[in-house]
Amino acid sequence: MGAHALDPGLDDLATSARAALVREIDASGAWGGDPRWREAFEAVPRHLFVPYYYVGVLGGYERMWGEDPDPRRRERWLRGAYADAPLATRVRDGELLSSSSQPSLMAKMLTELAVRDGDAVLEIGAGTGYNAALLAHRLGDGLVTTVDLDPEITASARRHLALAGHHPAVVTGDGARGVPEHAPFDRIIVTCTLTSVPRAWLPQCRPGARILAPLATGLIALRVRDAGHAEGRFLHTPAFFVPLRGDTPPEPELPELGGLPRRATSDDLFRFLLTLTAGRVDPHEAYALWEREEAPSRERYGVTVSGADAWAWLDDPEGPYTWPLA
């Protein structure tokens, strides 16, 4: 059995599992009524992009494999491929290097990308190729470029895409530098966590382009004004991805939180503020702000990029609460 084929008895299960996943995303409201993304998730078989993945077990990871000799484990692999859950797809020395994101979060991000027919899209972080396949189904292969630093990841993504009948541009390179040879882009979607906004992306965007990226456990949606300026606010959606590797600053470590009330340290929005300001704001100062502003939601925060400077802010980019980004 090749990676493109299933046991005859599993074909029907794949079809029904994919339909169930689409219904689950429907129920979440992730694509906001856009039928084009629903059609993409109906059409693109996720199992082609995860011929194996890892599930956490006590003491490490267990590998699930589509060609496992045990038919019960093959069925378990297939059901897991269509779960609305992230899947670890590349692990090295116990470290997660790449994953296939939770499908409902992917649907949310693709919807928030607000693509239009004819838009050229750059994806930072090729992963398994599944997200690029959804984009290619919606826009056409020629308008989609995906980039990843790891040649093994891009090779497998290219192979998975071909099995699904798609051939967008798959580039091996540092995503922080973009893909200037395929610019200009109308949209950039990022599937790995940033510590700041790489300046190389802005000159590769058309004016009015939209950048959607994970930052500080949130999703920032930036509008590009020109080659040196972009600004936008966070969405309400929390998001957790593996870090962008390459020519980017390392993620700052969260400080010790001793002495702070448990109701704050266990609060998702306070942790977001801490992550956004890590290394630049004392945790007790962050707590005072969080209390004073009555636990501000993610949508009240934003990011501005202006020339060599980039900063995060609360409510107003020129207001009293601003913090430089890396």
Is 297 marked active-site? no
Q: Which residues contact 113 (CB under 8 A, 6 or more apart)?
A: 121, 187, 189, 210, 212
DSSP E strands in 169-284: the ranges are: 169-172, 185-190, 205-215, 218-226, 229-234
Sign of the Cα pseudo-torsion (91, 93, 94, 95, in order): negative
Q: Which residues contact 314 (CB under 8 A, 6 or more apart)?
A: 289, 293, 296, 300, 301, 321, 322
Please give the Cα distance from 84 to 157 (Å, whole number). 20
As given in the structure block, the two tokens for residue 206 are 């058309």
Give the bridge partners for 57, in sequence order: 60
Q: What are phi and psi of 274, to 5 degrees?
A: -60, -45
Please give the Cα distance from 172 to 3 (Å, whole number). 23
Q: Which residue in this structure is represented by tokens 């957790």?
A: 240
User: Would you call 305 exposed, middle or buried from its count of C-beta atoms within 10 A (0-12, 13-18, 19+)?
Assistant: buried
- Which position among 98, 99, 100, 104 bears the catalytic label? 98
Would you please indicate which residues are annotated as catalytic (active-site) residues?
A: 98
